Structure 1
Amino acid sequence: MIHRHHRATQAAPSPLISVCGRYLPFLYHFISTLIAAPHNFAVVVVDAEGKFDVTRLVNPSLGLRSSPKAEGKKTSLPATTKDLAHVYVYRPESRAREHVDAVLSGVDEFMVYGDHESKGRAWWGTVVVGGIGGDVNAGWKGWCRVDREGVVGFAPGISVEEALRERGRRHEVVDQAGWSAASSWGTYVWKGG
């Protein structure tokens, strides 16, 4: 999808992908895959929104999530707690472009010359949440939209009482639905996350 987008638009290589919609589940899945075996990359996240939660990069059965519904649930998150040491999250003072740019300007030097846990890993790149720059942008505007896979709604004419009785079962159906990152150049679907 990324390759087709860049070929069709003749866009410069960076950013590789610009995502919008419910992008956090996509980022958790994407980054978890990058930092886990067999890839074993290091990744920098510049979180201008303050919403990125690094603990969501690991399988919920490892106990880092507090939801009892998450226990034993199969997901597409391959990273382990040891892999989390290779994700570097920066939170600029504000979402202002100059603050994000200031963080991005120092990231290269830190990852190449800095004293950190990821010296033995290749640095994949930078993900920017709520700003512009880096290899992946995530915000209100992007060429790839992330949403839940379609889930059939309640039947027409259902009463409020019937809907309330079905709420628990319906919640399970929504939780089991996958995610979709869709654009004019293709769709990527995954479960969990």
Structure 2
Amino acid sequence: MAVQINSTEVLGARLLREVAAEEGSLEDLLKDLRTISNHIRPSRTGIPDLDELWKQHGGKLSVISRGFPLVYSMISHMVKELEGTVVVVDLDGRFSPSHLVGMGLWMGDLRHVHVFRCSKERLKITLDSVEDYMLWGEHGSKGREWLGTIVLGGVGGDVMVGWRGWLGVEREVVGGFGEGVSVEEAWTDRERRKEIVDNKGWRGVCEMGEFRWG
């Protein structure tokens, strides 16, 4: 006995085939876009040694101790080297965009650093509003990629600076006075040692290793 197939069933089958084909094409397109994106933007911060440690650790970049020198360096690299834009959510009111000037950025570059200040109680609301603002709001960074959110003094975003974390920041160590150095010699040498300390860079330290900058 022949099976009769009406026109509705034929149309439905054709639509299902077209949807399946489009889903396959969409999946291939997304895969290609991810490949291209990874090729163009292999770095998270623009600091290769830091990016390697972050990749090894995974998750969020959580910084403890003296984190601000690293934050300023990261932002400078992300805005200048990666040509992106960055959000800073400052809960402590200690972040100063003016410190970025002279670290490779000009005053005009600061429009790509979007600073929000809030209390810890309003952090989640602020982070939600930040996403809407960066994606749909009117600002001067529309033509740039939003590379991430840095939260100072709280938990959230892509990078956090606070009392707990897996990456410590400290000054590079300056050697002490040698044995047998008198008080007079040490006093005479103080200016030279101060200059050495001032010119010393910083280092980030964690279980996977360390890196230096500055």
Normalising by the residue count of structure 2, what TM-score does the alignment of the two structures yield?
Answer: 0.70
Change (3 A) 1:135 1:170: same
* Structure 2 residue 56 is the aligned partner of structure 1 residue 4: yes
Alignment map for 1:5-154 (pairs within 5 Å): 5-6=57-58, 13=59, 15=60, 17-36=61-80, 38-59=81-102, 77-92=103-118, 94=119, 96=120, 98-154=121-177
Opposite residue 22 of structure 1, the aligned amino acid is: R
Runs of at least 5 residues in structure 1 that lack an aligned partner in the other structure? 7-12, 60-76
- Map residues 153-192 of structure 1 onto 2, 5 A cutoff: 153-156=176-179, 158=181, 161-191=184-214
> Could you say what secondary structure the match of 1:39 adopts?
coil
Q: Could you say which residue in structure 1 is the equivalent of 2:3?
A: none
Larger Rg: 2
Q: Greater RCO between the two (CA within 8 Å, min separation 6)?
A: 1
Aligned length: 162
Write the distance in 2 (CA, Å) between the matches of 1:102 and 1:162.
Answer: 58
> RMSD across aligned C-alpha pairs, in angstroms?
1.6
Amino acid at match of 1:18: S
Higher helix share: 2
C-alpha displacement at 1:99, in angstroms? Answer: 2.0
Paired residue type of 2:141: S
Flag structure 2 segments of 5+ consecutive residues without an equivalent: 1-52
* Cα distance, 1:157 vs structure 2: 6.0
Amino acid at match of 1:31: I
Q: Give 1:57 shift.
A: 1.3
1:28-82 per-residue CA deviation (whole Å, 9 max, x = no partner) reads: 101100011x4111100011111111111122xxxxxxxxxxxxxxxxx322222
Secondary structure, in 3 states, of the residue corresponding to 2:189?
A: helix
Deviation at 1:88, TM superposition (A): 0.8
Deviation at 1:175, TM superposition (A): 1.2
Relative distance call for 1:156 and 1:91 in structure 2 (3 A) is farther
Q: Name the SS for the 2:89 alignment partner.
A: strand
How far residue 22 of structure 1 moved from its aligned partner, in angstroms, is 1.0
Question: How much identity, in percent, do the aligned residues show?
Answer: 43
List per-residue Cα deviations over 1:84-111 (Å, max 9, x = no partner): 111011111x3x3x22222111100000
Partner of residue 41, structure 2 = none
Under a length normalisation based on structure 1, what TM-score does the superposition of the two structures give? 0.78
